[in-house]
Structure 1
Amino acid sequence: MQTAWFSKPVAVSVGVTGSIRHLSNTQQAIELLTTHWRDAGSPKHQSALRACRRATSGDVAAEIAREALVEAAREAHILVE
């Protein structure tokens, strides 16, 4: 497995205090998606997790995973735009 880097970090608000995290690659995204996700199990969450895992194995481009992550974060109301 390889770390797939995004062209631009994805900023999300996490935790009770809403601290901002800038996710720069698929490993960071997978960690957040599997441990600290507000709407875990939603279709967009599952799609983002699947896309990030596929990007780490080289099956899809990092930008596809990034877009899926952005959509999931938007759905979960944690995307910082």
Structure 2
Amino acid sequence: MENPRFDNVITVRTDPAGGSITLADIAACTSFLLREWPGKRGDKHRAALQACSDASSGRKSADSARRAFVQAAREAGILINQ
């Protein structure tokens, strides 16, 4: 399994009090999607998880996984910076 790094990190909110985490690679995004995702896990969450899995196995680019994660985070209202 590969763990491609992103050219630009993603920062997401982890709690309502203002905590945040910066994600710099596919493994960090996958872990966040599986273990720390707040609220509903809808279609964009599933698409991001699949894109991260595909990027880890070399079937998709890290950039496509990053875009899918950003879309899911935006939908969930947790995206701070992309």
TM-score of Structure 1 vs Structure 2, range by shorter chain = over 0.9
Q: CA deviation at 1:17?
A: 3.0
Gaps of 5+ in 1: none
Conserved 8 A contact 1:29-1:69: yes
Q: Deviations over 1:34-55 (max 9, x none)?
A: 0111144200000000000110
Q: How does 1:1-81 map to 2 (within 5 A)?
A: 1-81=1-81
**Change in CA separation of 1:40 and 1:57 when aligned onto 2, cut-off 3 Å:** farther
Count of matched residue pairs:
81
Q: CA deviation at 1:15?
A: 2.9
Question: TM-score, structure 2 length as denominator?
Answer: 0.91
Gaps of 5+ in 2: none
Output the amino acid matched with 1:3.
Answer: N
